[in-house]
Structure 1
Amino acid sequence: MVASNDTLPTRKPQSRTEPEVGASGASIDAADVARFSARAAEWWDARGPFAPLHKFNPARLKFVRDRTAERFGRDVMTRAPFAGLSLLDIGCGGGLIAEPMRRLGFDVTAVDASSENIGTARAHAAEQGLDIAYRAATVEQLEAEGAGPFDVVLTLEVIEHVADPEAFIRACSRLIAPDGIMIVATLNRTLKALALGKIAAEYVLGWVPPGTHDWNQFLKPDEIRLMLSAEPLAVSGPFGLAYDPLADRWSESDDSAINYLMIATRD
């Protein structure tokens, strides 16, 4: 599903000798940043606290790959199919999305409010020989600095952790280039998501540490659509992602009652 390292254009990993600038912005939820920072070193441990995310990752990577290929007319079977396109990964964590996106040819910029997460992501990318522009920063900082625009903007499982979802998602959308695409992934605020995405996942199955999510911060698809209604975008979705316990895998589904994605495009 994801291209191997040898599909990358030959480029030297970027030197990161400049001092790290701290992340700041109104969207930051300090408690959530601290929670993820405390586990920063464990992002790439497939049997550690992020193990469920490693299982979840192939489904969302496939979704991102296929929808961006449709948008830009790229053949995913070719070498580095997205070469020449820029991608911004907002709330990148340890780099679980940024690295495979770079392998697919994107010029990747990845930001996170946690400098600990960025340190882990940067070190792992260097070990893999991947030149990804990592930075501890928020979307507000990027917008204020005039960063971008980017052909693809990703914010996956981030909006439910910010203090001001509308300000956050609108700022993200303003970084989309003309003809570009933004993909948002989050959890639905339904009773099914409360039972399975919160209570079962945290307290019964132990997929994520207790307290990782606040069900009250989950967003309904129509709420995201409304938040983006003031921006010049076409919004589609939701597109569900569901877990099959028999196959032990995630895949795209018509069921968006728990996990889902939205697409916004700028013409």
Structure 2
Amino acid sequence: MEVTFLGTGTSQGIPIIGSEHPVCLSENPKDKRLRVSVLISWNDFNILIDCGPDFRQQMLANNVKKLDAIFFTHEHNDHTAGLDDIRPFFFRQGDIPVYAHERVLKALHKRFDYIFLTENKYPGAPGVTENVIENMPFNFHGLTVTPVNFMHNRLQVFGYRMEDFAYLTDLKSIEDKEVEKLHDLKVLVVSALRIEPHHSHFNLEEALEFVERVKPERTYLTHISHMLGFHDEVEQMLPDNVHLAYDNLKITI
């Protein structure tokens, strides 16, 4: 299994438009972050987790030519706004399977109604096949996918465990029974927004406490804002088995 970090930034990305913050002015490529998303390549399948507003740019940067499924974590704009840009994949492959909580699919119907039409559909619109995810494991072409349920302030979000890898973004609180799904991980990806506390995201301290609770072999932090600091400086502060993810980083599990 190969994981490509397509984007590791928070909802505005880094740099933020018009910002004079030092991190936004950094010339280090690792301080430039598109909106958060990962691509999981497994047994010739390409699985995308979240399809944000930078999706087209991310696909071009990583020369992705095939897309077998999109798993959505939740309905916020920075995780869903790129759905229209699946058109090149649709024209080559047909309907693209999407997997999401029923509430998230309903939100996508409202935002992208033309994609979900079954009659009188515009010929240039892409198409999808819908798969409702509940909080129980399901099979994707022989891969067991285990949803991990948690809260983003008051909004329910799904993370996903696939074999020895788990991806949890926009996490603020989680029940013990869900943490139990994360035992014996080789790689955990979890969000860490900034240094200061936030009402709906882990800050760095909370993320590191969560890592100690889960005890994976390796951890990569994502969904990062400019307020976390410079990549190279923050990286030096972290435990040996915890790293800041950055855009276009590839890891093998």
**Shorter-chain TM-score tier:** 0.3 to 0.5
**TM-score, structure 2 as length reference:** 0.40
Q: TM-score, normalised by structure 1?
A: 0.38
Which structure is higher in strand share?
A: 2
